[in-house]
Amino acid sequence: MAAWLVWLIAGFILISAEVLSGDLWLLMIGLGALGGAAASALGGNLVVSAVIFAIATIALVGGLRPMLKRKMLAGGDHKTNTQALIGVRALTVTKVDGHQGQVKIGGEIWSARVHNPDDTIPEPGTPVVVVEISGATAIVAPEP
């Protein structure tokens, strides 16, 4: 079997195995192996391919991996699910008080109640702000 093909298969196996680990080590080594495959396919002998593999892997692990890890870990400031609804503007569909009501958030009707139990929002179509999500109920306050 040709040396470039061995490098190529090894690279794809390592890159595929990265899906299971998620730590980006195998991805960097797999990309280094693809570099070794390219060097071998362009006529380099085993020593040249191994040197290209080593240099590429070290460069990727030392340079690209830390940057990607920071990017992945910085994803904590991205709100998803119900957390993404906090602070969103909504419109009342029915009277909203401390016990019941309905609001429309982004085209969907939600059960709602006011943040301050003493408040009441009597008019449908009144703009409100989502303060909190409690289960399937939006806790809202009048828009400032």
Written as tens digits, the pLDDT of the chain (144 aa) is: 889 999 999 999 999 999 888 889 999 999 999 999 999 999 889 999 999 999 999 999 999 999 988 888 776 566 667 788 899 999 999 999 999 999 999 889 999 999 988 889 988 999 999 999 999 999 999 987
> Is residue 73 packed enough to be buried (19+ CB in 10 Å), middle (13-18) or exposed (0-12)?
exposed
Cα of 110 vs its chain's centroid, Å = 26
What's at 1, amino acid-wise?
M
Q: Smallest Cα–Cα separation from 33: which of 59, 52, 61?
A: 52
Specify the pLDDT at position 42.
93
CATH architecture observed for domain 81-142: Beta Barrel (2.40)
- State the Cα–Cα distance between residues 20 and 7, nearest whole angstrom: 21
Domain ranges of the chain: 3-77, 81-142
Specify the pLDDT at position 97.
92
Q: Are 133 and 139 in contact (CB under 8 A)?
A: yes
